[in-house]
Amino acid sequence: MPHLIAVVLIGAGIVAGVKWIAREVARATGVDASQEEMVSNDPLATVPKDLGSLVWDADAGVYRPAVRRTGPFA
């Protein structure tokens, strides 16, 4: 039984050590996931593009944007 307790204590120490090392490496590099996300998060990239009205394309089996006719004879 003392062997089992020793193994559990050693395992807990290893897990705590790995977590501590990972936390120190993240602190030392100065890169925080939330900071990186804020820098790379472009609010315009998340806005969906307005495609206008959609029409069913029976050949492909999907909806596609309707053809917009522009010009003097539209």
pLDDT by residue (tens digit) across 34-60? 666 666 666 666 667 777 888 999 999
Query: Is 73 inside a domain boundary?
Result: no
Query: Is 74 inside a domain boundary?
Result: no
User: What are the backbone dihedrals phi and psi of residue 36, each rounded to the nearest 5 degrees, phi first?
Assistant: -65, -40
CA-CA distances (angstroms) from residue 51 to 13, 59, 63, 64? 57, 20, 11, 9
pTM of the model: 0.41
Query: Is 43 inside a domain boundary?
Result: yes
Query: Is 47 inside a domain boundary?
Result: yes
Please count the structural domains in the chain: 1
Alpha helices in 1-74 (DSSP H): 2-29, 33-40
Q: Write out pLDDT tens, residues 4-15.
A: 999 999 999 999
User: What are the backbone dihedrals phi and psi of residue 31, each rounded to the nearest 5 degrees, phi first?
Assistant: -100, 115
Question: What pLDDT is recorded for position 71?
Answer: 62
- Domain span holding position 51: 2-65
CB atoms inside a 10 Å sphere around CB 37: 9
- Residue 68 near residue 52, CB atoms below 8 Å: yes
